[in-house]
Amino acid sequence: MKNKSLGFYITIITAILAVVGVIFYLINCNTDYFGNLGVNAGVVACMVIAIVLELVYGFGYKASAKIFDLIPLVCGALMMVAFVLFISVRVNGIASILTFENNAQTMADLTSAVVGMVFCFLAVIFNIIGSFFKVGKDEA
Amino acid sequence: MKEKKTKRRLWRGLATTTTSVLALSLSASMIIDTFRTDIDKFLGTQSTQMVTENQSEDDYAFHSDYSSTTELLDAIEDLGERMNEEGSVLLKNENNALPLSEEETQKVTLLGFSSYYPVQGGDFGSTLSVNTGTDADTVDFVQALTAKGYALNPTVSDLYDTLKDEYQSDLISMWGTSEPVNRITAPSIDGTFKSAELSTDTMDATDSTWRDSMNDYNVMIVTLARAAGENKNYMPGEAGVDSEQNLNQADPLGLSDTERAIINAAVEAKASNGGKVIVILNNASAMEIEEIKDNTGVDAILQVGLPGGYGFYGVADVLSGAANPSGHLPDTYAVDNSASPAAQNYGNFAWTNADSAYSINSELVEAESIYTGYKYYETRYADVVMGQGNASDSVGSSTGGAWSYDDEVSYPFGYGLSYTTFEQTLDSLSVNLAERTVTAEVTVTNTGDVAGKDVVQLYVSVPYTDYDRENLVEKAGIQLLDYEKTDELQPGESVTITIEADAQDMTSWDSTASNEAGTTGNYILDAGNYYFTVGNGSHEAMNNVLAAQGYAEADGMTDAGNAANVQTWTLDAMDTTSFAYTENGTAVENQLQDMDLNYYMPGTVTYLTRNDWSGTWPQTYSDLTATDEMIQIMQNDTYEITAQGDPDSITWGADNGLTLAELKGADFDDEQWDSLMDQMNLEDAMIRTGFGGTSTKAIESISSPEVIQNDGPNGINSYTLGQYANTDENSADPYKVSADDPNLNYKFGTMCNETVIASTFSKEMAAEYGAVIGNYSIWSNLTIFWGAGTNLHRTPYNARNHEYYSEDAVLTAYQAASYIAAGKEYGVIIAPKHYAFNDTEINRSGIATFMTEQKARENELRGVQASIEDAQALGVMTTFNRIGCYAGNAHYGLLINILRNEWGFKGLMSEDFIQDANYSVLKEAVHCGVTMTCNTGDSTMEAVSAKWPYWTVDSVSQDATMMQDLKNVMKWQYYAIANSNAMDGLNETSRIVEVRTWYDNALTGVQIVFAVLTIAAIAMYIRSLKKEK
B31 vs A88: CB contact, 8 Å cut-off? Answer: yes
B357 vs A35: CB contact, 8 Å cut-off? Answer: yes
Pick from A88, A100, A103: which is nearest to B34 by CB? A88
Q: What is the pLDDT of residue B31?
A: 84
Query: Cα-flanking dihedrals φ and ψ of residue B873, to 5°?
Result: -55, 145
Give per-residue pLDDT as tens, B218-273.
999 999 999 999 999 999 999 999 999 999 999 999 999 999 999 999 999 999 99
Q: What is the pLDDT of residue B175?
A: 60
Q: What is the pLDDT of residue B46?
A: 83
Instruction: Quickly state the pLDDT bin for B4 (edges 50, 70, 90).
Output: low
Q: What is the pLDDT of residue B542?
A: 98
Pick from B16, B17, B23: which is nearest to A81 by CB? B23
How large is the average pLDDT for residues B74-95? 98
ipTM attached to this prediction: 0.94
Q: What is the pLDDT of residue B97?
A: 98
Question: In whole numbers, what is the pLDDT of chain A averaged over residues?
Answer: 89
Pick from A33, A76, A93: which is nearest to B19 by CB? A76
- What's the structural domain count of chain B? 4
Q: Which of A15, A14, A81, A16 is nearest to A46 (CA)?
A: A81
Pick from A63, A75, A96: which is nearest to B913 by CB? A96
Residue B295 has pLDDT above 60, yes or no: yes
Q: What is the pLDDT of residue B47?
A: 86
Q: Does B984 lie in the same domain as B1008? A: no
Q: Which of B225, B857, B761, B305 is nearest to B538 (CA)?
A: B761
Pick from B5, B15, B175: which is nearest to A73 by CB? B15
Residue B634 domain flag: no
Q: What is the pLDDT of residue B124?
A: 81
The A residues from 10 to 39 touching B (CB cutoff 8 Å) are 32-33, 35-37
Q: Is A88 an 8 Å CB contact of chain B? A: yes
Q: Does B279 lie in the same domain as B137? A: yes
Chain B residues with beta carbon closer than 8 angstroms to that of A57: none
Pick from B27, B189, B916: which is nearest to A84 by CB? B27
The CATH number given to whatever domain includes residue B886 is 3.20.20.300
How large is the average pLDDT for residues A50-59? 94
Q: Does B749 lie in the same domain as B785? A: yes
Q: Is A100 an 8 Å CB contact of chain B? A: yes
B16 vs A103: CB contact, 8 Å cut-off? Answer: no
Instruction: Quickly state the pLDDT bin for B688 (edges 50, 70, 90).
Output: very high
B912 vs A69: CB contact, 8 Å cut-off? Answer: no
Chain A residues with beta carbon closer than 8 angstroms to that of B229: none
Residue A140 domain flag: no
DSSP SS3 for B528: strand
Q: Which of B846, B843, B763, B776 is nearest to B810 (CA)?
A: B763
Q: Does B657 lie in the same domain as B780? A: yes
Chain B residues with beta carbon closer than 8 angstroms to that of A72: 12-13, 16
Q: Does B967 lie in the same domain as B1004? A: no
A98 vs B174: CB contact, 8 Å cut-off? Answer: yes
Residue A60 domain flag: yes
Give per-residue pLDDT as tens, B965-987.
999 999 999 999 999 999 999 99
Residue B200 domain flag: yes
Q: What is the pLDDT of residue B176?
A: 64
A80 vs B23: CB contact, 8 Å cut-off? Answer: yes
Give per-residue pLDDT as tens, B333-384.
999 999 999 999 999 999 999 998 899 999 999 999 999 999 999 999 999 9
Smallest CA–CA distance, residue B451 to chain A, in Å, is 46
How large is the average pLDDT for residues B797-820? 98
Query: How far is it, in rounded angstroms, from Cα B295 to Cα B263?
Result: 10
Q: Is A124 an 8 Å CB contact of chain B? A: yes
B24 vs A140: CB contact, 8 Å cut-off? Answer: no
Residue type, B147: A
Residue B796 has pLDDT above 60, yes or no: yes
Smallest CA–CA distance, residue A107 to chain B, in Å, is 8
Distances in Å between the alpha carbon of A54 and those of A75, A126, B992?
7, 11, 49
Q: Which of A49, A121, A128 to probe by mutation at the B interface, max B CB count within 10 Å?
A: A128
The CATH number given to whatever domain includes residue B139 is 3.40.50.1700
Q: With beta carbons less than 8 A apart as the criterion, state whether B245 and B183 touch.
A: no
Q: With beta carbons less than 8 A apart as the criterion, state whether B1016 and B15 touch.
A: no
How large is the average pLDDT for residues B320-340? 98
Smallest CA–CA distance, residue A96 to chain B, in Å, is 7
Q: Does B276 lie in the same domain as B422? A: no
Query: How far is it, in rounded angstroms, from Cα B469 to Cα B854?
Result: 14
A128 vs B913: CB contact, 8 Å cut-off? Answer: no
Residue B886: strand pairing partners: B883
A76 vs B190: CB contact, 8 Å cut-off? Answer: no
Instruction: Choose from A59-68, A105-114, B493-502, B714-723 the range with maximum mean pLDDT.
Output: B493-502
Give per-residue pLDDT as tens, B113-153.
999 999 999 988 789 999 999 999 999 999 999 999 999 99
Query: How far is it, in rounded angstroms, from Cα B402 to Cα B739?
Result: 69
Smallest CA–CA distance, residue B952 to chain A, in Å, is 17
DSSP SS3 for B641: coil
Query: How far is it, in rounded angstroms, from Cα B570 to Cα A124?
Result: 81
Q: Is the pLDDT higher at B450 or at B917?
A: B450
Residue A99 has pLDDT above 80, yes or no: no
A131 vs B16: CB contact, 8 Å cut-off? Answer: yes
- Strand pairing class (B422-432; B707-711): unpaired
Smallest CA–CA distance, residue B1011 to chain A, in Å, is 12
In chain B, which residue's Cα lies nearest the Cα of A100?
B231
In chain A, which residue's Cα lies nearest the Cα of B355?
A32
In chain B, which residue's Cα lies nearest the Cα of A70?
B12
Give per-residue pLDDT as tens, B32-59.
888 887 888 788 888 888 999 999 999 9
Q: Is A131 an 8 Å CB contact of chain B? A: yes
Residue B723 has pLDDT above 80, yes or no: yes
Q: B170-184, B443-457, B807-821, B883-897: which range is least confident on average? A: B170-184
Q: Does B1001 lie in the same domain as B989? A: no
In chain B, which residue's Cα lies nearest the Cα of A135?
B9
Q: What is the pLDDT of residue A2?
A: 67
Distances in Å between the alpha carbon of B132 and those of B73, B139, B742, B1013?
13, 9, 10, 46
How large is the average pLDDT for residues B9-23? 94
Q: Does B977 lie in the same domain as B1005? A: no
Pick from A89, A95, A132: which is nearest to B13 by CB? A132
∠ CA A133-A135-A140, nearest 5°, is 75
Task: Name the domain boundary from B600, B635, B660.
Answer: B600
DSSP characters over B536-601: SSHHHHHHHHHHHTT--GGGT-SS---GGGEEEEEESS-B-STTSB-TTSPBP----GGGSHHHHS
Give per-residue pLDDT as tens, B608-661.
999 999 999 999 999 999 999 999 999 999 999 999 999 999 999 999 999 999
Residue B39 domain flag: no
A69 vs B8: CB contact, 8 Å cut-off? Answer: yes
Distances in Å between the alpha carbon of B5 and those of B9, B155, B278, B1019?
6, 75, 83, 15
Q: Is A52 an 8 Å CB contact of chain B? A: no
Chain B residues with beta carbon closer than 8 angstroms to that of A96: 913-915
Residue A120 has pLDDT above 90, yes or no: yes
Residue B472 has pLDDT above 90, yes or no: yes
Q: Can you list the alpha helix ranges (DSSP code H) found in B875-921?
A: 892
Q: Which domain holds residue A16?
A: 8-130
In chain A, which residue's Cα lies nearest the Cα of B124?
A99
Query: How far is it, in rounded angstroms, from Cα B757 to Cα B740?
Result: 34
Chain B residues with beta carbon closer than 8 angstroms to that of A98: 174-176
Chain A residues with beta carbon closer than 8 angstroms to that of B16: 72-73, 75-76, 127-128, 131
B916 vs A36: CB contact, 8 Å cut-off? Answer: yes
Smallest CA–CA distance, residue B166 to chain A, in Å, is 27
DSSP SS3 for B642: coil
B509's CB contacts (< 8 A; 6+ apart) are B473, B521, B522, B523, B524, B853, B854, B857, B858
In chain A, which residue's Cα lies nearest the Cα of B845?
A101
Q: Does B582 lie in the same domain as B560? A: yes
Q: Is A84 an 8 Å CB contact of chain B? A: yes
Give per-residue pLDDT as tens, B179-201.
899 999 999 998 999 999 999 99
Pick from B12, B24, B935: which is nearest to A92 by CB? B935
How large is the average pLDDT for residues B677-702? 94
DSSP characters over B370-412: T--THHHHHHHHHHHHHT-TTTTSSTT-SSSSS--HHHHEEE-
Residue A137 domain flag: no
Q: What is the pLDDT of residue B470?
A: 97
The CATH number given to whatever domain includes residue B546 is 2.60.40.10
B357 vs A85: CB contact, 8 Å cut-off? Answer: no
Chain A residues with beta carbon closer than 8 angstroms to that of B916: 33, 36, 93
Instruction: Quickly state the pLDDT bin for A35 (edges 50, 70, 90).
Output: confident
Distances in Å between the alpha carbon of B771 and those of B408, B766, B868?
40, 9, 18
Q: Which of B4, B8, B12, B35 to probe by mutation at the A interface, max A CB count within 10 Å?
A: B12
Pick from B12, B16, B172: which is nearest to A102 by CB? B172
Q: Does B467 lie in the same domain as B455? A: yes
Q: What is the pLDDT of residue B915?
A: 86
Q: Which domain holds residue B191?
A: 89-325
Give per-residue pLDDT as tens, A72-96.
999 999 999 999 999 988 988 888 8
How large is the average pLDDT for residues B881-896? 98
Question: In whole numbers, what is the pLDDT of chain B averaged over residues?
Answer: 96
How large is the average pLDDT for residues A8-12? 95
HEC-encoded secondary structure of chain A: CCCECHHHHHHHHHHHHHHHHHHHHHHHHCCCCCHHHCCCHHHHHHHHHHHHHHHHHHHHCCCCCHHHHHHHHHHHHHHHHHHHHHHHCCHHHHHHHHCCCCCHHHHHHHHHHHHHHHHHHHHHHHHHHHCCCCCEHHHC
A76 vs B34: CB contact, 8 Å cut-off? Answer: no
Return the number of CB contacts < 8 Å for A and B. 124
Q: What is the pLDDT of residue B1029?
A: 65
Query: Cα-flanking dihedrals φ and ψ of residue B232, to 5°?
Result: -125, 165
Q: With beta carbons less than 8 A apart as the criterion, state whether A120 and A23 touch.
A: no
Q: Can you list the alpha helix ranges (DSSP code H) found in B748-895?
A: 754-759, 763-780, 809-824, 853-858, 862-869, 892
DSSP characters over B18-83: HHHHHHHHHHHHHHHHHTHHHHHHHHT--SEEEE-SS--GGG-----S-SSHHHHHHHHHHHHHHH
Distance of CA B943 to the CA centre of its chain: 32
Q: What is the pLDDT of residue B5?
A: 65
Residue A63 has pLDDT above 80, yes or no: no
Q: Does B255 lie in the same domain as B383? A: no
Q: Does B849 lie in the same domain as B719? A: yes
Element (H, E) at B967: helix B960-978
Query: Could you say which DSSP state residue B100 is in?
Result: P
- What's the structural domain count of chain A? 1
Pick from A88, A91, A131: which is nearest to B12 by CB? A131
DSSP characters over B703-726: TBPPEEEEE-SSS--SSBTTTSS-
Q: With beta carbons less than 8 A apart as the criterion, state whether B781 and B707 touch.
A: no
